[in-house]
Amino acid sequence: MTVQGSTPVARKKIAGHVGFSNLPNQIRRKSVKDGFQLTVMVVGESGLGKTTLVNTLFNSQICAPREVPHPAADRPTTVAIENIQADIEENGVRLRLTVVDTPGFGDFVNNSTSWNPILESIEQRYEAYLQQEHRVRRTKLVDNRIHACVYFIQPTGHSLKQIDIEFMRRLHHRVNLIPVIAKADTMSEEEILDFKERILSDLAFHGIQIFQAPVYEDEDEESIQEAEEIARAIPFAIVGSENFVRTRDGRMVRGRAYPWGVVEVDNPEHSDFGLLRKLLVRTNMEELREHTNNVLFEAWRTERLLAMGFTQDPSVFQEVSPADELHQQRELHEAKLAKMEAAMKEVFREKVEIQEQKLKQSEVELYARHKEIKDALDKQREDLLRKRAQLEAGGSPDASRKKPFNFRG
Ligand SMILES: Nc1nc2c(ncn2[C@@H]2O[C@H](COP(=O)(O)OP(=O)(O)OP(=O)(O)O)[C@@H](O)[C@H]2O)c(=O)[nH]1
Ligand SMILES: [Mg+2]
């Protein structure tokens, strides 16, 4: 059965019970309709076992069986970035798992730009998602973004190599980084523990952030234990194998046979492979998806829009409580009322002033008229008084000319 480019449904449990059908109900209900979808990328130096891990993850039955090459023949190397996809179904719940296999670097003398195709691929996927978001009809978004990047570290037992540091420094703010120690079967248990510590301190020293598997205290005992186990084991010590071998006690297991015994892929005592698989498809699947969408993609989008000359108004993202909004609206309304009142008062004052002016004017006119009449009356009175005085003085020169009172003729 081949999977490259196609999406066969493997209606079998991969290496026993994976457990995504046991996810909390709330998450399940949300995802059950369309199924879960997760995209994982494997990155690292050439020959560290990326392709082998992908095949181990999907189980050899899902992937195309590889021809066993002659020991003298060249090892097959991955030449292009390729998707391997499978729908896994468990108790009626679907998981569409896509693993992106990348060609290893380290083959070239100059590795300084070897991260470019990887970064480009990650950003192109963001770009494709952004374009869909910008469409008017956004009913069905196809999410091909990388939710997790499994980074392979050579089992040197020393510290991280310069190329690892350079690579992870460029990747960590674009993708959830999950560092793994490749071919852990080549190291002893103590060496692995020691190497894990050294890797973590190197990463911290260089400020490289890897995916932090959270432990939620309010979950049941078993889940907390599992989450703690996963968080403690990072960077995972990985053993991959597509082959089944017979153990000394006669079991057929996926593993690697050595003269001294068999290293079993699915045995937690031998390899952290099981924990890596649990982290990806069960315990932290939702966190990987959420962190990719809410943090990494958002940061990329902001950088992208800024580069295009858009600035974002941060106030549009501020949450407004309805009470605050009501309060603000009331204040605005009150300010508007006060302004209207002030304008009305002004109009009123102007009208009053005009009326007062008019009144004053007519008062002046009235006074002038009053004075005129008074003057005329005063004059008349004076005349009369003068005439009376003349009459009283008698013998007035014109008194004889005055007609008697009852003169009729
Ligand atoms: N000892 C050991 N060998 C492994 C392991 N995984 C893979 N190998 C062997 O390492 C060789 C390279 O494995 P690949 O999976 O082709 O490596 P790759 O990382 O895909 O390499 P490129 O495609 O060139 O980047 C093969 O011979 C595998 O059998 C492992 O966990 N332990
Ligand atoms: Mg490969």
Atom of ligand 1 nearest to the CA of 242: 29
Distance in Å, CA 26 to ligand 2 centroid: 37
Q: Is 258 in the pocket of ligand 1 (CB under 6 A)?
A: no
Count of alpha carbons within 13 angstroms of residue 162, beta-carbon side: 3
Q: Is 265 in the pocket of ligand 1 (CB under 6 A)?
A: no
Distance in Å, CA 252 to ligand 1 centroid: 21
Distance in Å, CA 67 to ligand 2 centroid: 14
Distance in Å, CA 28 to ligand 1 centroid: 35
Mean pLDDT of 173-196: 94
236 band by pLDDT with thresholds 50, 70 and 90: very high
Query: Of 259, 206, 211, whose CA–CA distance to 235 is shortest?
Result: 211
Residue whose CA is at the smallest distance from ligand 1 atom 6: 49
Instruction: Report which bound ligand comes closest to the CA of 264.
Output: 1
Query: What letter represents residue 256's amino acid?
Result: R
Distance in Å, CA 347 to ligand 1 centroid: 90
20 band by pLDDT with thresholds 50, 70 and 90: low
Decide which of 12 and 19 is more confident. 19
197 band by pLDDT with thresholds 50, 70 and 90: very high
Residues 6+ apart with CB under 8 A from 141: 129, 132, 133
Q: Is 52 in the pocket of ligand 1 (CB under 6 A)?
A: yes
Q: Is 106 in the pocket of ligand 1 (CB under 6 A)?
A: no
Per mean pLDDT, which of 104-118, 321-335, 377-391 is the most reliable? 377-391
Mean pLDDT of 266-277: 90
What's the mean pLDDT when you consider all of the chain? 82
The distance from CA 7 to its chain's CA centroid, rounded to whole angstroms, is 30
Q: Is 125 in the pocket of ligand 1 (CB under 6 A)?
A: no
Residue whose CA is at the smallest distance from ligand 1 atom 25: 104
What is the tens place of the pLDDT at every residue in 79-101? Answer: 778 888 877 766 666 778 889 98
CATH superfamily of 9-317: P-loop containing nucleotide triphosphate hydrolases (3.40.50.300)
Q: Is 51 in the pocket of ligand 1 (CB under 6 A)?
A: yes
C-alpha distance across the termini of the chain, in Å: 160
Q: Is 255 in the pocket of ligand 1 (CB under 6 A)?
A: no
Pocket test for ligand 1, best of 52, 58, 100 (most atoms within 8 A of CB): 52
**Cβ–Cβ < 8 Å for 61, 43:** no
Mean pLDDT of 313-340: 80
Query: Of 153, 133, 155, whose CA–CA distance to 142 is shortest?
Result: 133
Pocket test for ligand 1, best of 41, 43, 48, 99 (most atoms within 8 A of CB): 48
Atom of ligand 1 nearest to the CA of 52: 15
- Is the pLDDT reported for residue 63 higher than 50? no
- Is the pLDDT reported for residue 39 higher than 90? yes
Atom of ligand 1 nearest to the CA of 79: 23
Q: Is 155 in the pocket of ligand 1 (CB under 6 A)?
A: no
Distance in Å, CA 189 to ligand 1 centroid: 20
Residue 96: φ, ψ to 5°: -95, 105
**Cβ–Cβ < 8 Å for 209, 171:** no
Q: Any idea which residue has 């309709």 for tokens?
A: 33
To which H or E segment does residue 167 belong? helix 162-171
